[in-house]
Amino acid sequence: MQTKQLSIKELAAFMGVSTDTIRRAVRKREIPYTRVGTALRFDLHNVLTCLRQNAEAKLGARSAGAPGGTAGRAQGNQPPSGNTGALPTGIITGGLRIP
């Protein structure tokens, strides 16, 4: 079965990324490609399969970083203590201390 070979521009548009992102993935050997003269061509099925395998190898089949996981959420019963995670110091703006 012959599938259509996509150009860098077509693959980037399909995936919603820039052409630079596709070129970077080629340099890092993250996606399979075929060279036709000086042009690069991509089989969409092979690219998607490879990306899925790379993600599973890196993150695991059921990653905590996947939607519905607990990554980035406060663990335990305490709510997060602000954006920095710093503990409260008891200092009020203006340099006054709370007794």
pLDDT in tens, 47-94: 999 988 888 888 776 554 555 555 555 555 665 555 665 665 555 555
User: Could you give the dihedral angle defined by the CA atoms of residues 60, 64, 65 and 67, in that order, rounded to the nearest 10 degrees?
Assistant: 110
pLDDT of the residue at 2: 64
pLDDT in tens, 16-52: 999 999 999 999 999 999 999 999 999 999 999 998 8
Find where tokens 């693959």 sit: 11
Q: Concatenated DSSP letters for 33-82?
A: -EEETTEEEEEHHHHHHHHHHHHHHHH-TT-TTSTTS-TTS--SSSPP-S
Q: Specify the pLDDT at position 94.
A: 53
**pLDDT at residue 56, rounded to an integer:** 84
Residue 1 has a pLDDT of 53
Q: What is the mean pLDDT of the chain?
A: 76
b/e map 60-87, b = 16+ CB within 10 Å: eeeeeeeeeeeeeeeeeeeeeeeeeeee
Greater pLDDT, 13 or 75: 13
Name all domains of the chain by residue range, CATH numbers in brackets: 5-59 (1.10.1660)
Question: What pLDDT score was predicted for residue 63?
Answer: 53
* CA–CA distance, 98 with 66 (Å, rounded to integer): 42
Phi, psi of 2 (to 5 degrees): -95, 130
